[in-house]
Chain A
């Protein structure tokens, strides 16, 4: 989203501005939807995360300021949920459902193939920063088991030998956007 923006590489590097005006405007729009501004917090954190890549401390602080909350409160809330990242993740996060319906339909083979193909373990990111591999809770798409998500795209049924095709297809669809 914000490729032109500077991203910190070293520790202690100061970010003068964490979020763009576009992101801040979007957060304001979310806040206006609710009778109480804190209700916009999860949505605001996603806006911030999508722009910054992950929830850097300066990003969290800026979200907290926008919502008139303390940084510790925002950190506490964000850390409760699986889909917020406090460390850098790949450009795409792959989520493989490993719950029962997907397990019965061979998700372990899919996961094994992904680990081999990407050369990483669950929870890790490829060295080129392309993908982060994660397992997921039931994705409520058990009719397509085994199911995986690549970014916001849902794919299923995925067999082990189709894993590479799915990733290639996702890249094509992403490229078109």
Chain B
């Protein structure tokens, strides 16, 4: 079993303190980064094979290479700390448990891309995380890790915490930039507004997820070769019907079954029914897919038809009504739709109405076809990933649990819950 490192110190009560962090090797990665040219830092991250942990899984080093190298061009680094994908809580865990790691990752990444200013876009609801992060930042300034002379050298960096205000869509990178500029968090058109080209204040910007930035700190501290030897670790948030919900660190490609075992298995006396492997935006998988590897590319294969996404594994046992689950998911996207594009704004409302009547015993036989039609109409037509996140739960639940839809519609009742709780 490879060494667990992302979560290694997370339970140490003093890990948020500068001295304790440094005594455990903290800021070594930044020291090493500053000793070489910025391009070499990017190359090291590229060699590590690190892929963004926000959900899209884009290679981090390659993302940075899209930014112009000209030092005369103002560039920004933005840490996406707007974690909100249902079932995902690893970024919050890192912020609360190892804040200096994030600060170090930000400093290394900012140096690599040539940014003088970095921003942390932090979810408003992370009150505890904000207090911990503010303290860590103040300590980092006091010890010369940030400011005019980073670690006493010629590199200058300021890091500022910006606040969200309650909007799931702000986690989408261009919507986040709109929000960070003080506007409604509505996504921008890509192209031309790729953040690496026209990002924050229309300047080239690197946007990275909190976990990604923590990986960067470790990669620079220990080297790309060591990192790869760890099997490309990833944090999985495990929730729902498991004995020990929490964040688990596993090598990429670990089977869903093994992760559930790490989380203590399914709730006592129950059996596994289904799961969202990558947050509520990912397609649901049934028990026949327990051996699916949690991997960016493999999960997208037709045989699985899902995605790793933000690695929020939500486990559902045999007492779960799938119609209720999908209905709740649809409601969430309906409430969080920014309203910019029609398929998402209208589609989520229509879907919500159909699910609502099915759950109230007023579904019609044609509703299955109707739901599928609306889902089809939203696939590949939405302006941003939010709307595109809705159809997978619908189509996958129909693929595996169509009989539940049919029973609800035919009888007006649920055939799962009464038996499960009998």
Contacts and interface: CB of A to CB of B under 8 A. Distances in A.
B and A form one assembly: yes
Interface of A: 33-36, 38-43, 45-46, 67, 76-78, 80-84, 95, 98-101, 103-105, 136-145, 149, 152-154
Contacts of B332: 99, 137-138
B87 A100 contact: yes
B279 to A, nearest CB: 9
B165 A46 contact: yes
Interface of B: 83-89, 91-92, 117, 123-128, 160, 162-168, 179-186, 201, 237-241, 245-247, 276, 280, 312, 314, 316, 320, 324-325, 328-329, 332, 335-336, 338
Contact of A77 (B183, B316, B335): B183
Given A82-B166, A83-B124, A138-B85, A42 B179 contact: yes
Contacts of A153: 127
Contacts of A38: 181-183
Given A39-B162, A82-B165, A101 B247 contact: no
Nearest to B93: A143
A145 B332 CA distance: 17
A138 B335 contact: no
Given A100-B325, A137-B335, A143-B239, A80 B185 contact: yes
Contacts, number: 141
A35 B158 CA distance: 11
A55 B373 CA distance: 42
A104 B163 contact: no
9 contacts: A36-B181, A42-B163, A81-B166, A104-B314, A105-B240, A137-B168, A138-B86, A140-B84, A142-B314
A100 B314 contact: yes
A41 B320 CA distance: 43
A-B interface, 10 closest residue pairs, ranked by CB to CB distance from nearest: A82-B166, A38-B182, A142-B239, A41-B182, A81-B165, A83-B166, A152-B127, A101-B239, A80-B184, A138-B86
Contacts of B185: 80-81
A68 B316 CA distance: 50
A82 B165 CA distance: 7
Given A34-B160, A104-B316, A140 B201 contact: no
